[in-house]
Structure 1
Amino acid sequence: MNKHIYIYSPSGAVRDKAAFKRGVTRLKSLGHEVEIDEAALSSHLRFAGDDETRLAAIHRAAASGADVALISRGGYGLSRILPGIHYKAVAKAIDQGMRFVGISDFTAFQSAVLAKTGRVTWAGPGLCEGFGIGGKPNASNVQGAPPQLVPDDIMEACFDDLISGQGEGTGWRQLREPNSPATGAAPAASNEINLIASNVIYTRATASFGINKSVLWGGNLSVLSSLLGTPYFPEVKGGILFLEDVAEHPYRIERMLTQLLHAGVLARQKAVLLGQFTDFKLVPHDRGYKLQTVVNWLRQQIKAPVLTNLPYGHVATKVLLPVGAKTDLMVQGRDALLFWGHA
């Protein structure tokens, strides 16, 4: 289905121009009309242009009439320009059918839009890391030519579902973990009562439960925690919070989760979904402290279920998630399903 996709750069400067070009070529090969913002390849310090340039790019994207406004890449830069965004213009564009899509630093924009307008944006790929770099090598048709990298097929299928209006949910299988309350294969008996009290239907015999019509929100943990205490942090109660991060050691992940914990954010959620936490390196000093340690610790701190292995983050295979949409969560054993209908 041919759609109008607007490419803009609200965060870091595009350094990998080849990935940018590959991404544009890939989207065009899928039949889409691709419009590139005039400042998409701008550079100022580490940013894609100065603050005013990037603000103008956001507003041009909102006014473009495109079906999808897709960021070129993440990095850093959105947090510092949040006060200058015309949220009414963004909300109007969304109301008219535009879908804002991005990842990583884009969490700042998504959180601010949710806090200021209540509108839905989409956590998904960026142009360069999603469509421009790809994941799996595809055998070339030319004898002797090297394999060509192609975008992940699951990511592309989810993107196609989004722009065609057919996306209704996503399912995944959690990591296999020891069957004990400490690691969360099944909540402790005390948690069972609290889960039911929080409108979570939990069946201990089958380790299954369901959560109905809860706001899905979150994104990059580092970015989200940096917004705490600002007008751009969504005050979501009874929500489903999803989190991911990249190049952050588990103790740093725990430290950011602790900040959300002490601020009361985690206690207000019905579930926490942990996506992919990648590109960190453990050291001898850790002495067995690892990401699973953090997961176990988190489950001991909150009453809500903590799920693992959500296929979203700085990885090739990722689903698209509607930030701010009312969502149902169903879990049976290790299998989980998020359903949002036509968000």
Structure 2
Amino acid sequence: MIKPNALKFGDVIGIVAPSGPTTKERVKLAKDQLEGLGFQVKLGHSCYEKHGYLSGKDEVRARDLNHMFEDQEVQGIICLRGGYGASKILNRIDLEQIAKRPKVFVGYSDITALHLAMNQISKLVTFHGPMGSSDIAGGLDDFTREGFLKAVMGSSPMGEIQNPKGKKMQSLVGGKANGILVGGNLSLIAATMGTPYEIDTKGKILFLEEIGEEPYRVDRMLTQLLLSGKLGDAEGILLGDWMDCEPEEPEKSLSLMAVFEEIIGPLGKPTIYDVEAGHCSPMITLPFGVRSFLDAEEGRLIIEEGGTV
């Protein structure tokens, strides 16, 4: 895997919007907050564009992202927000150029599509972490800020990943596993099946998170990963935050945990849940593309390799 240079205070961070739009006020807040952390900020044109539910037309969003990787003044790139649209520009992204100009790249949710492409085709280590409008604009809590900065500014392994105090990682299936950490949002992983960007889970630790999906829809997407062999190929599984994924009518539904137990449990893969990464605050920043160790007996995740150089 190719690792980007670690960020340092004073570096220029580019903000781009590969997915949905936000307001000018949120863009300014994100810029101000990043500057308050000690970075310089360059805003992409897509941050101010709007094309229905997209932050500008596909060519605008793709050009913005390509430009930020080409721009020698920019050392890191943070996505403005998720929503929808990243998968629409995958065939417009210069993944070969990205491999030649590796930079810290951060985002989650819809940005999973870009993580998959960059991890698997560009062979770039990327970071599943806070975004400009969604998280940074409102000010990061201490836990989220410290974890984010440790991930993108330190070349040493992050070591054991801790949840916020009072929230323990739980074991769904016992056992231990080693592998490269990959994954992201379940909907996006399912949506890229059958495309050149389909996730490769062989020998990997697979991280999954989701927001706003009823258990039957989570069931459907996990079943797709099961039938395609993606769950079976993984060495271990991490279940992150599942914001608003409990049933609206519990008496007519399986619980989310029942879905996990029925689909993931029988595989016998070491699995932990309640990992505070995804659509949550506080939020763990995870490096995708580095060696990790999962101890599902004790509910522990250890990042054994630095994500930057």
Please give the alpha-carbon distance, in whole angstroms, between the structure 2 residues aligned to 1:237 and 1:280. Answer: 27
Q: For residues 316 and 309 of structure 1, do their structure 2 counterparts lie closer, same or farther at Cα, with a shift above 3 Å needed?
A: same
Q: For residues 305 and 156 of structure 1, do their structure 2 counterparts lie closer, same or farther at Cα, with a shift above 3 Å needed?
A: same
Q: CA deviation at 1:39?
A: 3.0
Determine the structure 1 residue equivalent to 2:227.
Answer: 262
Please give the alpha-carbon distance, in whole angstroms, between the structure 1 residues aligned to 2:71 and 2:251. Answer: 50
Q: CA deviation at 1:331?
A: 4.1
TM superposition score normalised by structure 1: 0.80
Please give the alpha-carbon distance, in whole angstroms, between the structure 2 residues aligned to 1:265 and 1:127. Answer: 31
Please give the alpha-carbon distance, in whole angstroms, between the structure 2 residues aligned to 1:166 and 1:156. Answer: 17
Letter in 1 for 2:240: G
For 1:31-50, what aligned pairs fall within 5 Å after superposition?
Answer: 31-50=38-57
Aligned to 2:264, the other structure's residue is in SS state helix
For 1:195-234, what aligned pairs fall within 5 Å after superposition?
Answer: 202=175, 209=176, 211-212=177-178, 214-234=179-199
Please give the alpha-carbon distance, in whole angstroms, between the structure 2 residues aligned to 1:41 and 1:317. Answer: 27
Please give the alpha-carbon distance, in whole angstroms, between the structure 2 residues aligned to 1:229 and 1:270. Answer: 22
Alignment of 1:67 with 2:72, yes or no, is: no
Gaps of 5+ in 1: 134-149, 178-182, 187-201, 203-208
Aligned to 2:59, the other structure's residue is in SS state helix
Q: CA deviation at 1:19?
A: 2.5
Please give the alpha-carbon distance, in whole angstroms, between the structure 2 residues aligned to 1:219 and 1:261. Answer: 16
Q: CA deviation at 1:224?
A: 0.7
Aligned to 1:129, the other structure's residue is in SS state coil
Letter in 2 for 1:114: N
Counterpart selection for 1:312 from 242, 262, 277: 277
Q: For residues 115 and 29 of structure 1, do their structure 2 counterparts lie closer, same or farther at Cα, with a shift above 3 Å needed?
A: same
Q: CA deviation at 1:164?
A: 1.9
Determine the structure 2 residue equivalent to 1:82.
Answer: 90
Alignment of 1:108 with 2:113, yes or no, is: yes
The 8 Å contact of residues 184 and 209 in structure 2, kept in 1 or not, is answered as yes
Q: CA deviation at 1:176?
A: 5.6
Q: For residues 106 and 284 of structure 1, do their structure 2 counterparts lie closer, same or farther at Cα, with a shift above 3 Å needed?
A: closer
Determine the structure 2 residue equivalent to 1:196.
Answer: none
Letter in 1 for 2:124: R
Determine the structure 2 residue equivalent to 1:163.
Answer: 152
Counterpart selection for 1:10 from 18, 36, 55: 18
Q: CA deviation at 1:341?
A: 2.6
Q: For residues 9 and 267 of structure 1, do their structure 2 counterparts lie closer, same or farther at Cα, with a shift above 3 Å needed?
A: same
Specify which structure has the bigger relative contact order, considering alpha-carbon pairs within 8 angstroms and separated by 6 or more residues.
2
Q: CA deviation at 1:18?
A: 2.5
RMSD: 1.9
Please give the alpha-carbon distance, in whole angstroms, between the structure 1 residues aligned to 2:17 and 2:273. Answer: 31
Higher gyration radius (CA):
1
Determine the structure 2 residue equivalent to 1:91.
Answer: 99
Aligned to 1:39, the other structure's residue is in SS state helix
TM superposition score normalised by structure 2: 0.88
Determine the structure 1 residue equivalent to 2:301.
Answer: 337
String of CA shifts for 1:85-111, please: whole Å, max 9, x gaps.
Answer: 1111111121xxx11111111000111
Please give the alpha-carbon distance, in whole angstroms, between the structure 1 residues aligned to 2:296 and 2:269. Answer: 13
Please give the alpha-carbon distance, in whole angstroms, between the structure 2 residues aligned to 1:336 and 1:176. Answer: 9
Q: For residues 54 and 254 of structure 1, do their structure 2 counterparts lie closer, same or farther at Cα, with a shift above 3 Å needed?
A: same
The 8 Å contact of residues 128 and 288 in structure 2, kept in 1 or not, is answered as yes
Please give the alpha-carbon distance, in whole angstroms, between the structure 1 residues aligned to 2:302 and 2:92. Answer: 34
Determine the structure 2 residue equivalent to 1:274.
Answer: 239
Alignment of 1:301 with 2:266, yes or no, is: yes
Aligned to 1:40, the other structure's residue is in SS state helix
Gaps of 5+ in 2: 1-8
Q: CA deviation at 1:281?
A: 5.0
The 8 Å contact of residues 174 and 336 in structure 1, kept in 2 or not, is answered as no
Aligned to 1:283, the other structure's residue is in SS state coil
